[in-house]
Amino acid sequence: MSNHKQPTVILAGGGHTHALFLKKLQKEPSPSAHFILVSASRYTPYSGMLPRVISGHYTAEQSHIDLESLAMASNCTFLKATIAGLDPDANELILENGDRLQYDILSINTGSTQSRVIDALDCISIKPIRPFLTWLSHPLPKQIQQSEAFNLVIIGAGAAGVEVALALHKRFKNLDQLNIHIVTARGVLAGHPLEVQQMMSEEIQKKNIQIHNHFRVAGVKGKVLTSDQNETLHYDALILATPAAPAGWPAESQIATNPQGFIQINPQLQSISHQNIFACGDIAELAHSKLAKSGVYAVRQAPALHKNICQMLAEKPLEPFRPQSHFLSLLSCADGCAIASRGWFRARGRLVWLWKDWIDRRFMAQFPLPEPGSMKINDPDQN
């Protein structure tokens, strides 16, 4: 960097990539820059554990990273604030309270939420996760108990939708009046290997969760969903587990985004329009190879991001991130059993569950976690 003052590197959002970036910074400090982590929340979730938080196998605290403690240990300033905009030509990040933060280098890792296929009352997205967990603990059980028959409908049968459906079945197993439905336009686990789709469909059927295949939601009236084929389904509560969608603010700024609003990046993880801006994880879209919106890629991008920010600070050439074509997928069935697949390999059962548990606990063991009970997930004001 050519200016004389110490450059400021802002890490916008505390997703998986930035959490691992901070771990790397702890081991290899960069005295040449001032790092600031801006996060809407002190705690960030590790998505791989979430279905098993819902099913009661882990506490919320076991599945969240304490970003403030992590930043402190990495000699990085922590700022709890919500990002609302970006002025890339002025090198400014805009916060919800109107403040503007100047940066020399910006890295964006703010994740995604669910695409809103419909505007309905009683509709909640799985992400952001904290209000979703609060809703599961607070109003939902009471609403189910007060009803004679309660239809909980999940829109989307990707990995998140099916894992959450099975976890909800486990969580509310004593509430007989609860009926769980999944509606899906593309079928269970579209894009996954056929055997994995079959194994998961069997697990869903075993639990009497009703799957509505080829149900492309076209509208909602009162508490009835309508498909594009005019099928109808009554619901009492609706959960969105639809494909990942970006926040609106990147597309509203001057930074290059794809038609959906994801930030377009080159193989070095830089914005294709602004070289001093990096983006990674769900919010980013590699310009020439479409990667799944998966935590695996957000995790794998961390070493490349660390390397390239250090290289940029040292005014050296950047290196490309090389995504792997196959990765291990482990899907929890919420009952002590899980399904594994990678390339030609498939497995299902208790050992896979224990394997997933071991991988996820080992991942979280690198980070400071919130104190037990400190997240107050039952308190809506804490969201």
Ligand X SMILES: Cc1cc2nc3c(=O)[nH]c(=O)nc-3n(C[C@H](O)[C@H](O)[C@H](O)COP(=O)(O)OP(=O)(O)OC[C@H]3O[C@@H](n4cnc5c(N)ncnc54)[C@H](O)[C@@H]3O)c2cc1C
Would you tell me which residues interact with ligand X (CB under 6 A)?
13-17, 38-41, 44, 47-48, 50-51, 82-83, 109-111, 126-127, 160, 163-164, 247, 281-283, 293-296, 298
CA distance 43 to 66: 5
Residue 272: CB minimum distance to ligand X, A: 18
Residue 96: CB minimum distance to ligand X, A: 8
Residue 302: CB minimum distance to ligand X, A: 9
Instruction: Give the neighbor-by-neighbor strand order of the sheet with 217-221.
Output: 217-221, 224-227, 232-234
Question: What values do phi and psi take at 269, rounded to 5?
Answer: 75, 15
Q: Which is nearer to ligand X, 299 or 312 (CB)?
A: 299
Which residue(s) pair with 277 in the sheet?
Answer: 106
Q: Which is nearer to ligand X, 226 or 284 (CB)?
A: 284
Q: Which is nearer to ligand X, 126 or 334 (CB)?
A: 126
Residue 127: CB minimum distance to ligand X, A: 5
CB-neighbour burial class of residue 122 (10 A; exposed 0-12, middle 13-18, buried 19+): middle
Q: Which is nearer to ligand X, 96 or 228 (CB)?
A: 96
CA distance 247 to 114: 10
User: What distance separates the 2 farthest-apart alpha carbons in the chain?
Assistant: 70
Q: Which is nearer to ligand X, 101 or 142 (CB)?
A: 101
Residue 37: CB minimum distance to ligand X, A: 9
Q: Which is nearer to ligand X, 37 or 310 (CB)?
A: 37
Q: Which is nearer to ligand X, 54 or 230 (CB)?
A: 54
Q: Which is nearer to ligand X, 111 or 370 (CB)?
A: 111
Query: Identity (one letter) of the amino acid at 273?
Result: S
- 35 Cα distance to chain centroid: 24
CB-neighbour burial class of residue 292 (10 A; exposed 0-12, middle 13-18, buried 19+): middle
- 334 Cα distance to chain centroid: 19
As given in the structure block, the two tokens for residue 187 are 């079928």
Q: Which is nearer to ligand X, 215 or 297 (CB)?
A: 297
Residue 158: CB minimum distance to ligand X, A: 9
Residue 81: CB minimum distance to ligand X, A: 7
Residue 112: CB minimum distance to ligand X, A: 6
CB-neighbour burial class of residue 71 (10 A; exposed 0-12, middle 13-18, buried 19+): buried
Q: Which is nearer to ligand X, 220 or 334 (CB)?
A: 334
Q: Are 155 and 242 in contact (CB under 8 A)?
A: yes
Residue 212: CB minimum distance to ligand X, A: 20
Residue 68: CB minimum distance to ligand X, A: 12
